[in-house]
Amino acid sequence: METSRHLVLGIDFGTSNSACALIDAHGALQVIPLGGAKAEMPTALFFASETHTVLFGAEAMQAYLSGTEGRLLRSLKSLLGSRLMDEYTAVGDKSIRFFDIVVLFFKELKRRCEAHVGQPLTHAVLGRPVHFVDDDAERDLLAQETLGRAAREAGFTHIAYQMEPIAAALDYEQRVTQETTALVVDIGGGTSDFTVIRLNPARSTQSDRSADILATTGVHIGGTDFDRLLDLSTVMPHLGYKHVGTGGRIVPSSVFFDLSTWHLIHQAYTRKSLHFAKELWTDYTDQALHRRLMDALEEQHGHRMLASVEAAKIACSISGQSAPVQLDFLDRSLSPAVDAVGMEAALHASIAQVVQCAQDCVAAAGLSAVDAVYLTGGSSALRTLIEALRQAMPTATLVEGNRFGGVAAGLAWAGAVHPY
């Protein structure tokens, strides 16, 4: 493809899923299909032990869930800004830095996008949450710098940044016909971000839209936190979470929190953690629970259990009906389920925080209400969250956007007018 300007790739590197888009030489939006026919691909890598190969996205998840021997890594974005990013982790018979794993993922994104457009891509706009890290400006800056450094090591030479909710707003602006004041609600895997912005198609080609951005807020709560809370409430009690053991004491909970947190699961499998878990048998009065915990740890079922909880969460949110959590691989006698009442109870406090952050954004903009609430991000489909937002902002029109490709599309529009 011949072009007089550089194509700029919008990269939405998400906690759970990633997506990419660009504006082509003809001025048309291309959301690049990273996962076969799907725009998004899971932000996941699988290091296969026998073949010494690395699989990405859906292929990584499929290999892990089918029982292929190896190491799965997910939710790497959650490590940005932390000391863990420069630490090494065991992958097969070698160790690799978490940062270098992020670089590998960016290289794969770049490879797939270049294969789709048929030319090298060197310019990128990277999405970033309002806050990588809550209430810590130094770590927040470190997270953005680390993200940019990973993209550069992957081969991008010109990099800009845009907040993810602003990018989502720029995508929504392509569909509005008159000036609209919108609250953009971007509920991702690791963060919930909000922007109140004035949208007007007449200003969509301007590179500086700072005057139209009335307020931004964000909180470090997202879909992976919902998964953790549901895992703790539905599955972990079958392994001993909150089990009242000998002497009336509750079994120590750290191992259950590691097993329920996507980016910490690997810590539960270390020699030190396994030894700690084995010694917990003296704290249990029901030894069947302890045996089940050890089976989960020794067979490394953590990701599989959490994936089953995530699937049940999605199914329940779509149907409003109880959805089983499939745990046949652990114990065929178990039949936990996620239902609407249980989901509401488990997520109530977190969703209240998310909704309060949304209301704070509207207040920070100096408004009592907005014209529209625009929902984007994979976790924005959560039924209990949608209802809470609807109750909090009853006069606004609720618009459900492109949950997985919207931010990437907005980053592409931002890149098209960015003065490189």
Cβ burial of 208 (10 Å; 0-12, 13-18, 19+) is exposed
Distance, CA of 287 to CA of 91 (rounded, Å): 32
Residue type at position 21: A
Residues 382, 226 contacting (CB under 8 angstroms): yes
Inform me whether the pLDDT recorded for 100 exceeds 60: yes
Q: What is the pLDDT of residues 287-312, one digit of tens each?
A: 999 999 999 999 999 999 999 999 99
> How far is residue 334's CA from residue 53's CA, in Å, rounded to a whole number?
34
pLDDT digits (tens, 9 = 90+) for 120-131: 999 999 999 888
Q: So what's the pLDDT on residue 3?
A: 43
Torsion region of 228: left, alpha or beta (phi above 0 gives left; psi -120 to 50 gives alpha)? alpha
pLDDT tens readout for residues 202-239: 887 776 777 888 999 989 899 999 999 999 999 999 99
Q: Which residue carries 């996941």 as its tokens? A: 44
Residues 380-384, mean pLDDT to the nearest whole number: 88
The per-residue pLDDT for 419 is 61
Q: Which residue has the tokens 């830095």?
A: 97
pLDDT the model gives residue 151: 97
Let me know: does 134 contact 220? Beta carbons within 8 Å.
yes
CA dihedral 307, 310, 312, 313 (to 10 degrees): 170
pLDDT at residue 134 greater than cutoff 80:
no
Judged on CB neighbours under 10 Å (0-12, 13-18, 19+), 373 is buried
Q: How far apart are CA 136 and CA 122, in angstroms?
A: 31
All structural domains of the chain, each given as residue ranges with its CATH number in brackets, are 8-167+403-417 (3.30.420.40), 224-344 (no CATH)
d(CA 374, CA 89): 39
In this predicted structure, what is the pLDDT of residue 2? 41
190 or 321, which is more confident?
A: 321
Using CA atoms, how far apart are residues 150 and 264, in angstroms rounded to an integer? 21
Q: pTM for the full model?
A: 0.80
Q: What is the mean pLDDT of residues 303-328?
A: 93
Write down the mean pLDDT value for the chain: 91
Q: Evaluate whether 303 touches 72 at the Cβ level (below 8 Å).
A: yes
What is the DSSP secondary-structure string of 89-146?
Answer: EEETTEEEEHHHHHHHHHHHHHHHHHHHHTS---EEEEEE-S-SSTT-HHHHHHHHHH
